[in-house]
Amino acid sequence: MLVKRVLCSSTLRGFSSLSSHTLKVGDTLKDTRTFSSEDVLEYSKVSHDCNPLHFDSYSARSAGFEDRLVHGMLVASLFPQIISSHFPGAIYVSQSLHFRLPVYIGDKIVAEIQAVTLRGNNNKYIAKLLTKCFKNGEVLVLDGEATAILPSLEVEEAYSVQ
């Protein structure tokens, strides 16, 4: 039987009761976020993605969606956020993504990364990670695989930049 360790609380501010804060194969880190209209607007300013599906309910419904969509890449941005908040100085090398279902403004999204392989290389570590996002913590909306170079396997308590 495979036992997964979850290295953080739902707010990503602390850790579950682990004797060690060293990342191991099978470990999972999570974060939860609900994207707002303001998040979508600010992301569109940076990305220049002004698709009406993100801003106009009528356009979104006409295209077959329930309402306005959150940019898929904005949702996927949770993965590097999880990595960088626990491994400051990490270098994101690659990410594959499969957009399974739409994410709507106001949906509660739980993002998780799970360590699949960890390989040491010149005092750094190459981590292969499974990446997944779930709507309301249950329905898979996005998945893929990431590779990151970690400066250490020591998991630091998450921080955020205000």
- Each residue of 3-44: pLDDT tens digit? 343 444 333 333 343 445 899 999 999 999 999 999 999 999
Residue 86 in this model has a pLDDT that exceeds 60: yes
CB 127 within 8 A of CB 88: no
* CA–CA gap between residue 67 and residue 64 (Å, rounded): 9
pLDDT for 157: 74
Confidence of residue 161 (pLDDT cuts 50, 70, 90): very low
pLDDT for 158: 64
pLDDT for 2: 37
Architecture of the domain delimited by 28-35+72-150: Roll (3.10)
**CB within 8 A of 126, min separation 6: which ones?**
93, 117, 118, 119, 147, 148, 149, 150
pLDDT for 20: 57
Which ranges in 57-138 belong to alpha helices (H)? 57-62, 72-76, 78-86
Of 12, 28, 10, 5, the residue nearest 131 (C-alpha): 28
Q: In the predicted model, what is the mean pLDDT of residues 33-56? A: 96
* CA–CA gap between residue 118 and residue 23 (Å, rounded): 9
Q: In the predicted model, what is the mean pLDDT of residues 70-97? A: 96
Q: The whole model's pTM is what?
A: 0.84
Query: Residue with structure tokens 């908040």?
Result: 85
User: What tokens were used for 162?
Assistant: 């205000």
CB 102 within 8 A of CB 69: yes
pLDDT for 122: 87
Domain ranges of the chain: 28-35+72-150
pLDDT for 9: 36
- Each residue of 102-152: pLDDT tens digit? 999 999 999 999 999 999 988 899 999 999 999 998 999 999 999 999 999
DSSP 40: H
Residue 82 in this model has a pLDDT that exceeds 90: yes
* CA–CA gap between residue 33 and residue 43 (Å, rounded): 15
